[in-house]
Amino acid sequence: MAASDIFIQATETDPDVIARDVVAEAHRRLRSGLVALTAPQQVGEGPEPRSAELVDFCLNEVRRYLVIADQNLYAPASEDDETRLLVDALRIGAAALNALIDELVAAEPIDAARLGVLVAAALSLHLQIEGSVLLPALAGLPGVDPSLLAADMRAHLARGQIEQPTVIDVRRVARGGRHPRVFARYARLAPGEAFILVHSHDPKPLRREFEAIYAGAFSWDYLQAGPEEWRVRIGRVTADA
C-alpha cells in the first residue's frame, strides 16, 4: 500500500471525512448565499437588483448543486436497496426546488423575495437530509469512492464546467447507471431545453419514474421507435406550459 493511501479513520485524513467536509462547505455556501439575498431590504432599496441577484444565484448555484448532488450522491445510493427510497424522496425534493426556481425566474421583482424565502426553506431541509442521513449511509456503501466525490464537489465549488451532452446513448452505460445518468442530465435543463435519449428498447420504466418524480414538468417525445434503436426527446416544460 502506498503511503498516500494510508489514513487514520474518522480523522481529517479519512477520505469519508474529507468528502463530508467538502459537501458541508457546498451546503454552507448555498445557505449563506440565500440568507444574504433574502434578508429584509434596507429602506429605499428597490426590489429589482436584489431579485436579479437572487435569480442568478438560484440558477447558477442552487440548480448547479442539485445536478452535482444527483450525479455524485444520489446516483450511487440509488443502486442500494437500503437507500433507494431515500434517493427517490430527495429527487422529489429536488424537483420541487427546481419548480420553485422556475416560478422565481418568471416572477415579478416584488414577488421574488417571497419565493426566495420558500426556496431557502425548502433547500435548507433538503440539505439537512443529505448531510444527516444520506452522507453517513454513503460511507457504508460498496463502490462509492469518497475521493472522487470530494474531487467533483471541489470542482463545483471552483465553478468548474459541467458537461451538458445533447444526446445520451445509454447503450454504452452500465445497466445500473443508466437512469441516474438521465436524471442528472434532466436536472441541468432550463425550462424549454431538452436532450435526446438513445436506447436499445422502449424505455417505458424510465418514463414511469419521470411521471412519479416530475409529473407535469417534463416532455417525452418519441423520435424513433425501434426496432433496434429508440430515440426519445426529453425536455423540461416551461412554467406556463
| Interval 75-96: pLDDT, tens | 778 767 888 899 999 999 999 9
Separation of alpha carbons 94 and 78, rounded Å = 15
110 pLDDT exceeds 70?
A: yes
C-alpha cell recorded at residue 45: 432599496
Residue 170 and residue 153 share a domain: no
| pLDDT tens digits along 176-198 | 667 877 887 787 787 888 999 99
Band of the pLDDT at 153, cuts 50, 70, 90?
Answer: confident
The reply to whether 201 and 240 lie within a common domain is yes
Mean pLDDT, range 159-163, rounded to an integer: 58
Residue range 107-123: mean pLDDT, rounded:
89
When computed from its CA atoms, the radius of gyration of the chain, rounded to whole angstroms, is 19
* Secondary structure (3-state) at 108: coil
Q: Answer yes or no: is pLDDT of 222 > 90.
A: yes
User: For position 231, which CATH number holds?
Assistant: 3.30.110.40
With vertex at residue 62, the alpha carbon angle to CA 58 and CA 63, rounded to the nearest 5 degrees, is: 90
Mark whether 177 and 122 lie in a shared domain. Answer: no
> What pLDDT score was predicted for residue 158?
75
Which residue, of 161, 177, 197, is where some domain finishes?
Answer: 161
Task: Find the length of the chain.
Answer: 241
Question: At which of 135, 161, 187 does a domain end?
Answer: 161
**61 to 57, 69, 122, 136: CA distances (angstroms):** 5, 12, 15, 24
Domain that holds residue 105: 1-161
SS3 141: coil
Question: Does the pLDDT of residue 241 top 90, yes or no?
Answer: no
Per the structure, the count of domains in the chain is 2
Q: What is the rounded CA–CA span in Å between residue 86 and residue 74?
A: 9
Pair 151, 188 in one domain: no
